[in-house]
Amino acid sequence: MKGTRSVVMFLIVCIGVLSSCKNKNPKETIASSKVKKPNIVFVLADQWRAHATGYNGDPNLIGKTPNLDQLAAQGVNFKNAISVTPVCTPFRAAFLTGKYPTTTGMIFNDLHLPEESVTLAELFKDSGYKTGYIGKWHLDGMGRFDYTPPERRQGFDYWKALECSHDYNNLIYYEGNDSEKKKWEGYGPYAETQDAISYIQKNAGNEEPFLMVLAWGAPHFPHATAPKEFQEQFNEEDIILRGNVADDMREVAKKEAVGYYAHILALDKCIGDLEKAIEAAGITENTIIVFTSDHGEMLGSHSIRPKQKQVPWAESVRIPFLLKYPALFGNKKIEVEAPINAPDILPTLLTLADLPVPEFVDGESMVDAITKPELKKDKATLVMNVSPFAGKSDEYRGVYTSRYAYVKTLDGPLFLFDNKKDTLQLDNLVNKPGYEELQEEMEVVLQRELTNIGDEFKPRQYYIDKWNYNLNSSGYIDYGKDSKPQGPSLNK
């Protein structure tokens, strides 16, 4: 199957190159074929919401995330980045394939991404890139602590990863072709970052460019395991919660926020270490750095307890997204209002590297939104949860634009917010006098976006039956030692 796919992918790349040559003005080339393609360092956090950064104005973090603040000041800040489904596995599959969860079948955690999937790593590898993955994977579906062999790594050659663990001070991993468990020393994200730095140092001088993904498990809970030196910088009583946190959530939210923010400070340090390593290697100009997260964290907002995501409110679906590429954009601050979503990442990176975007990709390149913001100013992007687990949410579909958020369940519209005027999403405009036309317009936009990806928004059981999934009583895929692996290609 993999051999056949390689031939197909080779033809896709060839056809794409030929077609792009027909239409492209050489003066408008993103990354000239006469020079080395850009290296890509893609940093993926887990459960880091967009609000929780100094540069985005979180009062608990102002002045405390200097490295991210500098990255935002010298690069592109997608201010309205969205997690298509604010859960780990669906986001990661969408990021790697450029497709929506309803297209791939990767609709909840612990599913197996089919080997025949065409991924970001394989497309770049077929174009001469070296590829590496370090950290949390969560796409194999064969057990959270089990070994992922090379044929299931979706095109990543260098490998120091584990399916899923958040035991940050006892974090295990597998290296290369060795099926024996190893353990990161100390705080896992620090050790993973140092390995990423070693990878950069080793590959910086090569003729071939590299694509490396560094995927931390933090700041996902447990929060109390964050480095003590950073926990000591916060006091529970001094934590400033968002204005949409209910009184009965405030105590637990403040307690969890201390560790949550401490993880963030530790990861900000890691960002600084990465940037220093890139500079020391002499590859700053021609290296694309991306920082983002798979989804957000509610932390008590809208009466939803800390440690939760998967719901459609902004704290859950909005994520940070910074991109720096000095050779193309210089070192200036650029803020993009148009939303970018998980399926847009693959085509955006391909475009920046001057590589063709395959037709099967659902997402769209957002490079135009950086260079010509007016071209994407009215873009709407989908949010969805096909089958929420543990009864924490109803299934939903919705759209976010640079200004509005409109979401509906199978029972009808859930909310309509003007995010410019109502940053806390407290004033629901659904069925409110004076907003009937806006609600109708947003419904039309939602239906258009669903039609574009062929999703009719049916009850969750339709999708479970479509891919023959078997869920436990809590709505989860079982991932224990004796569980049967499941995935779109495994349950046929």
- Report d(CA 468, CA 486) in Å as an integer: 9
Report the candidate in 349, 374, 416, 315 with the shortest Cα–Cα distance to residue 56.
315
* Ramachandran bin of 298, using left for φ above 0, alpha for ψ from -120 to 50, beta for the remaining angles: alpha
Q: Which residues of 337-361 are buried (b: 16+ CB within 10 A; e: fewer)?
A: bbbbbbbbbbbbbbbbbbbbbbeeb
User: DSSP class of residue 341?
Assistant: B
Give me the residue label for tokens 């072709």. Answer: 177
Name the E strands within 195-265: 210-219
Report the candidate in 115, 116, 112 with the shortest Cα–Cα distance to residue 92.
112
Name the E strands within 297-366: 321-324, 334-336
Within 281-301, where are the H helices? none
The answer to whether the beta carbons of residues 241 and 254 sit under 8 Å apart is: yes
Paired tokens of 208: 């071939």
- Report d(CA 366, CA 341) in Å as an integer: 9
The answer to whether the beta carbons of residues 129 and 210 sit under 8 Å apart is: yes
State the catalytic residue, choosing from 138, 223, 263, 302. Answer: 138
Q: Is 68 helix (H, G, I), strand (E, B) or coil?
A: helix
The answer to whether the beta carbons of residues 404 and 427 sit under 8 Å apart is: no
Asked about 138 being catalytic, the answer comes back as: yes
Asked about 164 being catalytic, the answer comes back as: no
- Report d(CA 97, CA 154) in Å as an integer: 10
Q: ∠ CA(323), CA(329), CA(331), 5° rounding?
A: 80
- Report d(CA 357, CA 364) in Å as an integer: 9
Q: At 405, which helix (H) or strand (E)? A: strand 404-409
Between the alpha carbon of residue 402 and those of residues 70, 73, 266, 309, 340, the distances in Å are 24, 20, 30, 21, 10
Residue 394 burial class via C-beta count within 10 angstroms: exposed 0-12, middle 13-18, buried 19 and up = middle
* Ramachandran bin of 418, using left for φ above 0, alpha for ψ from -120 to 50, beta for the remaining angles: beta
Report the candidate in 221, 224, 252, 289 with the shortest Cα–Cα distance to residue 46.
221
State the catalytic residue, choosing from 14, 21, 51, 88. Answer: 88
Name the E strands within 127-243: 130-136, 158-162, 172-175, 182-183, 210-219
Active site residues: 88, 138
